Structure 1
Amino acid sequence: MTEAEEYPPIEAYGVVGNLETCALVAPDGSIDWFPFPHLESPTILAAILDADRGGRFRITPTDGFESERRYVGDTNVLETTFRTDEGTATVTDFLPPASRVDHPKKVLYRKVGCADGTVDFAVELEPQFDYGRADATIESVDDGVLAEGGDERTLLESPIDLEIEDGRITGDLSLQAGEEAWFLLRCTGAEDANTDPEAALEETIAYWTDWVHDCDADDDCAFEGPWHDSVVRSQLVLKLLTHAESGAIAAAPTASLPEDVGGVRNWDYRFNWLRDTGFTVQALMNLGTADEGRDYFDWFMDLCQADDPAAIQPLYGLHGESDLEERELDHLEGYRGSSPVRIGNGAAQQRQHDVYGELLLAVDEMRQHGRGLSDDEWTRIRDIVDYVREIWDEPDAGIWEVRGGDRHFVHSKVLCWVALDRGLAIATDGGHDAPLEAWRETRETIREDVLEHGYDEDLGAFVQAYGTDAVDATGLLLPIVGFLPFDDERVQGTIAAIEDRLLEDEIFVLRYDGDDGLPGEEGAFVLCSCWLIDALALSGRVDDAQSRFETLLEYLSPLGLLAEELDPETGSHLGNYPQAFSHVGIVNSALYLGYARGHETPGPPPMGIRLGEPSVDLES
């Protein structure tokens, strides 16, 4: 088997989940990633990180085939249809959403149905508990085959006889037209649960269909356009990455998918980054998913309530865990030899001053949607703003979490300015007690400092960090967060410099062109492409922005999913997948383009309109 056959392209995978964990399904019907019981838990299946030792659950035709993938309507129920010379059959994969349907959430359902002819399948389950570190025992039982390892166990309930050999469970299935078979992977806690597979499927489809964004033909939907379906799929991805218990949203459901295939840029993204809060809340609220927006807001407000501002971390576990020790799994080879394989994330211990501005953007966004602050909540927010006054002039690791030492990043300074600016607006609007004059003084000091040290007159643009001439895509956010208006020549100069030095083929935007302390290269960052689209749309270059957005959407996976990055040369997806921030970018770019084309949303204008003084005439 070739490397390409062992490791399908990242964008070839589909994702299903139950609002607590997710599974990735390859085009050949192999589930190659499945942490349990939560996203950040150790894996039961991880062949995507090691084809030989990771573990998989595969149901695939024994003869040559072609496969097509689709989600059932606007749901997270995945269908893989196989066509062989002898017939056509479909494997349907799903997990019932936790606390949303009356079926056990800890059961992975796989339905195999034959539409015509005859199709023979090979069934293979190779569980590898705890990333393959736990010794597993496998035995036949009345209902199927039971596998145990570490603290977890699985029961494969099967309609066919199964054999056990060398840690693998195998069997053969033959279906004729009109026949179907169900395979249920019952995980710890669901071995004896009552299940009705057909009812579980119907209720899961009904849940997603009822939940997802919908608009009548007569509605003036802000997301109207040829990208509407892509926005809806992005919404479904964001929901799939939302933890049902806490409301936290994972950056991605995977760990260590490489930003540079064969390289070392492999990170665990199964956590929530506070820097994502402002733009994520904006996306959720404008999609009409107000409950999810409020739950997410309440979750990170609780984190702020619990910690002294100095102790607030850039990222947390989905239950609020702060100990995210980064470790390397040397026994796994990594996706296509990309090592080391890492779990946990050392960035949790970095100093990232931009986090505070992102938090204040989210608080202000919720204020715009009518969510006030209690006295206790305001006390914590006031403490954060006061803390920013103390530390804004210190170096940090920045939004990109560089590992080459702290620096005076322009974006971090600007987001500290945002913390003061939004803190002043929230205090004034809500009548909250605050040292307003002191905050105004610091806000102006930060602004003057950034304009003096962060802007390069010769380049005609803002740079990545003081004392360098490197350009950073975060410069596109300066007008969106209100630091300068869109028509300011320094903003337009920065956009031009980013187009000149970071842009490839009109749509692929690199994060920066400076050294980050790591070997190797990375792809273009999807979110940065979205930032460029936003900046162009709100600078009056609406047709240009729309053209680039439509080009970007051509690189969506066949299922409408996006990884963190794209390879500018091949269009292949890189990094963890699907990536929440990439899909947030799709939603917000569609939102800004909608505004620029004259559409409105039921709520307040989004922050790029409200704060950024756009050049485009939104009334035209």
Structure 2
Amino acid sequence: MDYPPLSDYGIIGNDDRCALVSRQGSIDWCCFPHLESPSVFAAILDANRGGRFAVSPAADHESSHRYVDRTNVLETTFETARGQATVTDLMPMTPDDEAGRFQRAIYRKLECDRGRVELDVAFEPRFDYARIRPTFERTDEGILARRDDERTDGIDDLLVLSGDCEFSIDRTDSTVTATAPIEAGEQRWIRASYGDPTPPSVDHDRVLDETKRYWREWVGGRRECPESIPERWHEMVVRSELVLKLLIHHDTGAIPAAATTSMPEAIGSDRTWDYRYNWIRDAKFTVQALHSTGHEREGREYFDWFVDVAKTDPEQITPLYGLHGDAGDEITERVLDHLEGYRGTGPVRIGNGAATQKQLDVYGTIVQAIYETIRFGEDVDVDDETWQSICAIVDYVCDHWDERDAGIWEFRGEHRHFLYSKLLCWVALDRGIELAETGDLRAPLARWKESRSAVRDAIETRGYSESADCFVQYFDGDDALDATALLLPIYEFLPPDDDRVQSTIDAVIDRLTTDDGLVVRFVDTDVRRDEQKAFLLCSFWLVDALVLSNRVERAREYFENVLEYASPLGLYTEKVDPETGQLLGNFPQAFSHLGLINSVTYLTRTLETEGDVDSADFQPENVQALFRRANASDVDDR
């Protein structure tokens, strides 16, 4: 079987689970009961073995898909010679759910728009990352699919398939099939429910209406587009918000980097990682994006999550965490040899070895996120326990900032004095000092200030290359250039108009950037060979740095170009091939969507000021209301 391009996929989901649906109507990735649980459908990782839940016409056809306006409800339309049908896919969001009984389900509405269409249904669950084929039995509820091995962990993996179809069981192939002929005006419903052999009876149309209403109310009803920005920017921000909400874990507030594992950074590359974890480094950008789009509740829940992390012994703080709190050695990276990987690119990995890496940037990220949340106007109570935790982190940075680490890009087996890690150590010290001084809180300020000066001196003397005329990837790195140098003005280490900042931006444009504004992460480094694929977040960083530099025309040009690399549904992966436009990496990528939201915030503020900009214009208190021009009660059910 073929592998659709990632641009052919849409995502549906609810509080802590997601599914990827191809333009051909096949659900090729879904994990139950949670996003980080083992998969039940994984055809995206092995088209023959992984399992899928497909609905598509038996006849030759053309297909397209779109989201129902301002929702995460996906419609796939099929056109055949005899008619047109639409499959509507959702995971329900209902106000009267009982302990998730409704939510652990996939609903599929089959509807004929004109003529007559015969739809084929193929239900092929494969439990535990396709290591376990199910047994099937007919019950009063439908077809019960259950894993056929004995478990000792108390989890009962099962799916119940029900609907308005005559289902046939092929026990040899462990597949359930059906044919659903429908004529104009007719509709059928199919549902796959996880974990409950007797799922509750529901009114499917009511669930659909409530789910659409939920998403529209969450995103802000008929939220108007600010007059100063193009409608397309606004639409992309709304889609990015909806993607982030799908990824947010409703119990903990944690946000995984992506919904998938092992989507390769390049076809044929062995760089295939599990991204279903929350990386600490995302905190600043997440806080900024959630607050600037008006989602204070999610911002506060995320704040509570990383404050809990901050209360850990600094020595034990790790780069990434599971969505339910596991960390460090609890996260074991393993290879699934029985799966071939997307388009034959393996290995397929679960878990992530970076969980035990030493990454000094995490400390600055935590302090910055707390600092920024407070500046957004949140009624945050920095109690004594929280402040002591911050002090412990800043003290730890004083003692360890001059050590080598794996860096933001998580180089395995290669530790250096990476510029970005030192920058974030400076951020931890600088923001800690400001919190202490503005809050009149007790702290060893003399020690902190001495360390802050030492870090600054090291960055300016060893992190800047006179020969290359730019800041470099690691201390004394000569020509090694890394896109993280763009963050120096964004984190306010240097003013945007500093000559060294401007020459670094020019170097990034000259050496890392395509004509379309796509930015690769690094070049001319001996840490790892140069990358050929563009990293989308870095492309948005360049936009932000250009805006701060009053180079707004170039920033807008690049931003418009990068928008062209989104999927037809407005979704981003981690990387893109600049030559072909092929989307690469795990999908959809939270970091990319965060970058888009924040770049629109920067650009919008510039357009609203209609003149030269100053970095003060981009402080939290000045950007948080840019997209709150909504009449939240103005919601429809169409």
Aligned length: 602
Match of 1:385 among 386, 394, 403: 394
**TM-score between both structures, scaled by the size of structure 1:** 0.94
1:286 aligns with 2:292: yes
On the 8 A contact 2:229/2:607 being kept in 1, the answer is: no
The one-character-per-residue Cα deviations of 1:63-119 (angstroms, maximum 9, x if unpaired) are: 111111111110000000111111011000001137676771111100000010000
Equivalent in the alignment of 1:528: 538
Q: Counterparts of 1:413 and 1:419 in 2: how far apart (Å)?
A: 10
Equivalent in the alignment of 2:304: 298
Equivalent in the alignment of 2:71: 75
Q: Counterparts of 1:587 and 1:537 in 2: how far apart (Å)?
A: 14
Matched position secondary structure for 1:503? coil
Equivalent in the alignment of 1:614: none
Hey, which bits of structure 1, 4+ residues long, moved more than 4 A?
98-103, 214-217, 219-225, 514-522, 605-608
1:271 aligns with 2:282: no
The one-character-per-residue Cα deviations of 1:158-193 (angstroms, maximum 9, x if unpaired) are: 222111222111111100000100000011036332
Match of 2:235 among 229, 238, 248: 229
Label 1:360 to 1:145 Cα distance change in 2 as closer, same or farther (>3 A).
Answer: same
Q: Counterparts of 1:312 and 1:321 in 2: how far apart (Å)?
A: 11
1:376 aligns with 2:372: no
Once the 2 structures are TM-superposed, how far is the Cα of residue 141 of structure 1 from its aligned partner? 2.3
**TM-score between both structures, scaled by the size of structure 2:** 0.91
Q: Counterparts of 2:509 and 2:469 in 1: how far apart (Å)?
A: 13
The one-character-per-residue Cα deviations of 1:115-149 (angstroms, maximum 9, x if unpaired) are: 10000111101110000112421222233211111
On the 8 A contact 1:403/1:517 being kept in 2, the answer is: no
Equivalent in the alignment of 2:626: none
Once the 2 structures are TM-superposed, how far is the Cα of residue 483 of structure 1 from its aligned partner? 0.6
Equivalent in the alignment of 1:153: 158
Once the 2 structures are TM-superposed, how far is the Cα of residue 607 of structure 1 from its aligned partner? 8.0
On the 8 A contact 2:240/2:593 being kept in 1, the answer is: yes
Unmatched runs of 5 consecutive residues or more in structure 1: 612-620
1:198 aligns with 2:205: yes
Structure 1 counterpart of 2:214, one-letter code: Y
Matches for 1:77-226 after TM superposition, within 5 Å? 77-97=73-93, 104-149=102-147, 151-165=156-170, 166-189=173-196, 191-213=198-220, 217=224, 226=232
1:48 aligns with 2:44: yes
Once the 2 structures are TM-superposed, how far is the Cα of residue 360 of structure 1 from its aligned partner? 1.4
On the 8 A contact 1:303/1:320 being kept in 2, the answer is: no
1:326 aligns with 2:322: no
The one-character-per-residue Cα deviations of 1:221-261 (angstroms, maximum 9, x if unpaired) are: 78665411000100000101001111111110000001011
1:33 aligns with 2:29: yes
Label 1:416 to 1:214 Cα distance change in 2 as closer, same or farther (>3 A).
Answer: farther
Once the 2 structures are TM-superposed, how far is the Cα of residue 213 of structure 1 from its aligned partner? 3.8
Once the 2 structures are TM-superposed, how far is the Cα of residue 267 of structure 1 from its aligned partner? 0.5
Equivalent in the alignment of 2:436: 427
On the 8 A contact 2:118/2:180 being kept in 1, the answer is: yes
Match of 2:463 among 454, 462, 468: 454
More divergent stretch after superposition (371-380 vs 180-189): 371-380
- Share of identical aligned residues, percent? 50
On the 8 A contact 2:548/2:615 being kept in 1, the answer is: no
Match of 2:317 among 309, 312, 335: 312
Once the 2 structures are TM-superposed, how far is the Cα of residue 27 of structure 1 from its aligned partner? 0.7
Equivalent in the alignment of 2:595: 585
Label 1:516 to 1:458 Cα distance change in 2 as closer, same or farther (>3 A).
Answer: closer
Label 1:516 to 1:287 Cα distance change in 2 as closer, same or farther (>3 A).
Answer: farther
Q: Counterparts of 1:310 and 1:607 in 2: how far apart (Å)?
A: 34
More divergent stretch after superposition (470-479 vs 158-167): 158-167
Equivalent in the alignment of 2:570: 560
Q: Counterparts of 1:214 and 1:589 in 2: how far apart (Å)?
A: 23
Matched position secondary structure for 2:405? coil
The one-character-per-residue Cα deviations of 1:262-292 (angstroms, maximum 9, x if unpaired) are: 2201000011001000111011001000000
Matched position secondary structure for 1:570? coil
Unmatched runs of 5 consecutive residues or more in structure 2: 150-155, 621-638
Label 1:518 to 1:467 Cα distance change in 2 as closer, same or farther (>3 A).
Answer: closer
Match of 2:484 among 465, 474, 477: 474
Label 1:340 to 1:568 Cα distance change in 2 as closer, same or farther (>3 A).
Answer: same
Matched position secondary structure for 1:509? coil
Label 1:257 to 1:204 Cα distance change in 2 as closer, same or farther (>3 A).
Answer: same
Structure 2 counterpart of 1:136, one-letter code: P
Matched position secondary structure for 2:481? coil
Label 1:215 to 1:353 Cα distance change in 2 as closer, same or farther (>3 A).
Answer: farther
Q: Counterparts of 2:588 and 2:461 in 1: how far apart (Å)?
A: 39
On the 8 A contact 2:160/2:193 being kept in 1, the answer is: yes
CA RMSD, 1 decimal: 2.0
On the 8 A contact 1:263/1:520 being kept in 2, the answer is: no
More divergent stretch after superposition (515-524 vs 552-561): 515-524
Structure 1 counterpart of 2:394, one-letter code: V
Label 1:606 to 1:319 Cα distance change in 2 as closer, same or farther (>3 A).
Answer: farther
Matched position secondary structure for 1:598? helix
On the 8 A contact 1:410/1:450 being kept in 2, the answer is: yes
On the 8 A contact 2:261/2:273 being kept in 1, the answer is: yes
Structure 1 counterpart of 2:63, one-letter code: S
Once the 2 structures are TM-superposed, how far is the Cα of residue 451 of structure 1 from its aligned partner? 0.8
Q: Counterparts of 1:221 and 1:205 in 2: how far apart (Å)?
A: 26
Label 1:221 to 1:96 Cα distance change in 2 as closer, same or farther (>3 A).
Answer: farther
Structure 1 counterpart of 2:124, one-letter code: E
